């Protein structure tokens, strides 16, 4: 018996080596990895540029705490501010912690700086913001909340894209609106631009804060540094994690200058957040994306991937929709896709779900056209086998019912 809590499903494979878009298991089998560690490995497995920088740092210093000057943290903060258009950065260890920081900053700014009794955070159904008590309460999915009551007060989730419901929900106690511009775990649903513009108008009208959760959409995943940059909006706070550190645990919250006093001395902190190794990895990741012009590559490969998917599987009756931005693609089906994940794995392609009916593709940002062609071919064969299996099971069920 493995002495671990059973919080995760049985592993798809037992990986022992990775390079770029490829993973190898303990038996030497190779797989095309279109999961990227759930959207973490923007440069693929073991990118040499990041490996070199981290190896250099390993010989210097690992950890001191934030009571000391951490030079790579300063450099990474400058880079994050540059690519996001934000002014101030706080480093954490994960996306959930980054979102916790955003929630705390919004409340403290409203209550301590603005002197208003504002604490409520409005979020949206099918969103996902983390697994801590506050962030799972913010998450608009009931399944993540089961058994964790009583949940913290001050959160309300409403339908994604419903501007009238948002108008009705804003109250004198509302501090901020928290949303994803592309709902990731909720099924890869890009937000409507007109709705987002109206959301920001309401934020300014009621003197609220707009928080954008960029944990999955950030660091180039959608073809821009951050998903909100596809839209004519200006958030007050953004959060990021996943793709920031090439697999090293790191999260960050970035905010505008006006919020500076919201996090005054001693009001928030993290022992490990922004340490030497994580921020070195983060800085190397961003610099490599810049040097390799990967944002343009993501746009090109994302369009190509959707075109190939439409061409190869677009006319399958059970297919509902192919959607996404950049290299964040969701394929929705009328039937659950869990069995399809297993069939594709057996044929050498690793995929994810985003809800029971949505197949999620998150290849590395530097994925090649040849790798996309290979993945689509494997996926097509896997779908053919999956649908044959489904048809056979349906026939067997019908026979038993007669």
Is the pLDDT confidence value at 400 over 90?
no
Q: Which residues pair with 158 in a beta bridge?
A: 124
Is the pLDDT confidence value at 65 over 80?
yes
Tens-place pLDDT, residues 155-209: 999 999 999 999 999 999 999 999 999 999 999 999 999 999 999 999 999 999 9
Q: Which CATH architecture has domain 15-33+294-401?
A: Alpha-Beta Complex (3.90)
Pairing of strands 319-325, 251-255: unpaired
pLDDT score of 383:
98
pLDDT score of 395:
78
| CATH no., domain 48-291 | 3.40.640.10
Over residues 313-326, the mean pLDDT reads 97
Over residues 334-347, the mean pLDDT reads 97
Q: Which residues of 368-386 are buried (b: 16+ CB within 10 A; e: fewer)?
A: eeebbeebbebbbebbebb
pLDDT score of 402:
58
Pairing of strands 209-213, 174-179: parallel
pLDDT score of 111:
97
Is the pLDDT confidence value at 401 over 80?
no
Over residues 90-105, the mean pLDDT reads 98
Sign of CA dihedral 371, 373, 374, 376: positive
Over residues 9-31, the mean pLDDT reads 96
Tens-place pLDDT, residues 370-390: 999 999 999 999 999 999 999
Tens-place pLDDT, residues 215-252: 999 999 999 999 999 999 999 999 999 999 999 999 99
Query: What tokens were used for 131?
Result: 């697994």
Domain residue ranges in the chain = 15-33+294-401, 48-291
Mean pLDDT over each residue of the chain, to the nearest integer = 97
Rounded-to-5 percentages of helix, strand, coil across the chain: 40, 20, 40
Q: How remote is the C-alpha of 223 from its chain's centroid?
A: 14
Pairing of strands 30-33, 88-92: unpaired
pTM equals 0.96
């Amino acid at each position: 018996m493995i002495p671990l809590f059973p919080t995760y499903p049985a592993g798809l494979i037992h990986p022992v080596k990775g390079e770029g878009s490829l993973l190898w298991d303990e038996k030497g089998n190779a797989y095309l990895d279109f999961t990227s560690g759930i959207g973490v490995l923007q440069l693929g497995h073991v990118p040499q540029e990041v490996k070199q920088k981290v190896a250099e740092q390993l010989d210097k210093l690992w950890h001191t705490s934030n009571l000391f000057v951490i030079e790579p943290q300063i450099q990474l903060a400058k880079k994050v501010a540059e690519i996001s258009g934000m002014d101030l950065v706080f480093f954490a260890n994960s996306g959930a912690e980054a979102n916790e920081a955003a929630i705390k900053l919004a409340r403290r700014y409203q209550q301590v700086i603005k002197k208003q009794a504002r604490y409520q955070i409005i979020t949206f159904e099918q969103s996902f913001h983390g697994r801590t008590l506050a962030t799972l309460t913010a998450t608009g999915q009931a399944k993540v909340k089961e058994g964790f009551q009583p949940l913290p007060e001050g959160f309300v989730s409403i339908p994604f894209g419903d501007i009238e419901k948002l108008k009705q929900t804003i109250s004198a106690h509302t501090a901020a609106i928290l949303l994803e511009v592309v709902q990731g775990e909720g099924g890869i649903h890009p937000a409507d631009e007109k709705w987002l513009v109206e959301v920001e108008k309401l934020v300014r009208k009621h003197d609220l804060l707009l928080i954008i959760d960029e944990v999955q959409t950030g660091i180039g995943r959608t073809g821009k540094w951050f998903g909100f940059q596809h839209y004519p909006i200006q958030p007050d706070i953004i959060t990021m994690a996943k793709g920031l550190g090439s697999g090293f645990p790191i999260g960050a919250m970035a905010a505008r200058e006006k919020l500076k006093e919201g996090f005054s001395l001693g009001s928030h902190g993290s022992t490990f957040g922004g340490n030497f190794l994580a921020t070195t990895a983060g800085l190397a990741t961003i610099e490599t994306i810049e040097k390799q012009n990967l944002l343009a590559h993501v746009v090109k490969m994302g369009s190509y991937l959707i075109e190939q998917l439409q061409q190869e599987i677009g006319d399958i009756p059970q297919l509902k929709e192919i959607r996404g931005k950049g290299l964040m693609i969701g394929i929705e089906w009328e039937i659950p896709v869990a069995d399809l994940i297993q069939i594709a794995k057996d044929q050498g392609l690793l995929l994810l779900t985003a809800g029971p009916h949505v197949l999620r593709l998150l290849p590395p940002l530097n994925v090649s056209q040849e790798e996309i062609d290979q993945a689509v071919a494997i996926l097509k064969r896997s779908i053919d086998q999956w649908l044959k299996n489904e048809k056979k099971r349906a026939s067997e069920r019908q026979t038993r019912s007669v």
